[in-house]
Amino acid sequence: MLHHRTFWSLIPVLCLVLASSCQSNRKLAPGSNPPGQLAPAGAWKPEKLAALDDAVMAAVSSNRTPGAVVWLERHGRVHQGSFGNRSVEPAVESMTVDTIFDAASLTKVLATTPAIMKLVEQGRVDPSRSVSTYIPEFAGGGREGITVGHLLTHTSGLPPGLSRTDGWTGYEAAIQRACREPLVEPAGARFRYSDINFILLGEVVRRVGGRPLNEFCARELYGPLGMRDTGFLAVSPGATTAPAGADLRRIAPTEKLASGVLRGVVHDPTCRRMGGVAGHAGLFITASDLARFCRMMLNEGTLDGHRVFRAETVRAMVAVHSPPGLPRRGWGWDIDSPYAGPRGNRFPIGGYGHSGWTGTSVWIDPFSKTFVILLANRNHPTEDGNVIPLRRQVGTLAAEAVVGFDFDHVPGALAPDPAAH
């Protein structure tokens, strides 16, 4: 168990007076750089770190989220901390930096996309091939023109999600329904963010990879990367109680339903019906594990001397693949679309990231070699919380905290594209 030093014992008395309303809400992990004090040489601007922490504490104090964990890293220099509470119902529990969060749609880029890219690297999946190559029943009604690449860039023409009005339940029923969904427009014509795209991609992994998505990722990704607290928590379809063995003490709860507070059970209703394992949602993760994944991405496939992906695989994953004139997306990753708020206002266009419904987000900037993680449970105990503005604030302040990098002149950065918004 980690031990945490209180924020207030580490900053000048003046800061204590100015921010006294939040003094029980901010904790630092051992080895972190205390906001308001001098960061290690060449690492961060302390006043920007303090502003970043203040922004998160303001979101907590205004009930936009009960709590959050932040992790900012560049060249091995880490600024991290926990804010507010992990739980407020049925009992109050303080947030800790090792809290496990429902990653929501971060599943798309931390599980499904890298699993697909593993299969691409092995020559077993081709993004240019029709989805029906791998799922033969995904046919008719124009579906034959939808490629794996269309699914990865949300340009398939499929609707945003599966209807739940007819009472279907179970993984197989979801796949059957996804294969029958009518197209809203032809493939490649429009960017439309869709969970169905990644439900189908998760099924491609299962069929081509020979094991369910959760098992494939555990063996091919999380084990090799040392991500010990990352994985899916499979349940019976429709369950609202956590599976046996789930470490509820560290899992941040989400919404309070009529049956009780969801804790250790995926929040996404479609994924819950599917049994907790799906290509669009279902992953649980800590900030430190997500930081390991980000380091691997910045190192183009290696971590701690072990190669997980070829460098060209990572480069392909985060290059722009959207059709011309549409918001720019990589394979799975957001680059420059209406959902790119976690980039903030200072990181250059050409980095990549993603966000999740529960309040999670990550942005990786390959130009300055910086990444910033915000994990919140903004929909606990209700859906009234909102961290969308906070994501942009955190992204902006993270870039402004970087020492010794000129964000106004970045070779290789992309020019703004009106189609992004």
Q: What is the pLDDT of residues 344-377, one digit of tens each?
A: 999 999 999 999 999 999 999 999 999 999 999 9
The pLDDT of residue 24 is 37
What per-residue confidence (pLDDT) applies to 29? 44
Topology classification of domain 5-99+340-406: Beta-Lactamase (3.30.450)
Q: What is the mean pLDDT of residues 114-123?
A: 98
Length of the chain: 421
Task: Please report the pLDDT score of residue 417 as a whole number.
Answer: 83
Confidence of residue 25 (pLDDT cuts 50, 70, 90): low
State the virtual CA torsion across 194, 196, 201, 203 in degrees, nearest 10: 170
pTM of this structure: 0.91
Q: Which of 86, 17, 87, 74 is CA-nearest to residue 48?
A: 74
> Does 202 score more than 90 pLDDT?
yes
Give percent above pLDDT 70 in the chain.
89
What are the tens digits of pLDDT across the range 225-256? 999 999 999 999 988 889 988 889 999 999 99
- For the cut 70, the answer to whether the pLDDT of residue 379 exceeds it is yes
The helix/strand/coil state of 144 is helix
Residue 420 has pLDDT above 60, yes or no: yes
Closest to 213 measured CA to CA, from 332, 113, 124: 113
Please say if the pLDDT value at position 130 is more than 60. Answer: yes
pLDDT more than 90, % of the chain = 86
Omega before 418 cis (within 30°)? no
CA distances to 108, 136, 205, 222 from 145, rounded to whole Å, are 22, 13, 20, 33
How confident is residue 7, by pLDDT bands cut at 50, 70 and 90? very low
Which of 69, 85, 2, 92 minimizes the C-alpha distance to 390?
Answer: 69
352-355 and 328-329 beta bridge pairing: unpaired
Which homologous superfamily is 108-249+258-273 in?
A: DD-peptidase/beta-lactamase superfamily (3.40.710.10)
Question: How far apart are alpha carbons 300 and 319 in whole angstroms?
Answer: 13
Mean pLDDT on 306-335:
97
Average pLDDT of the chain to the nearest whole number? 91
Q: Where are the domains of the chain?
A: 5-99+340-406, 108-249+258-273
Partners of 283 in the beta sheet?
Answer: 232
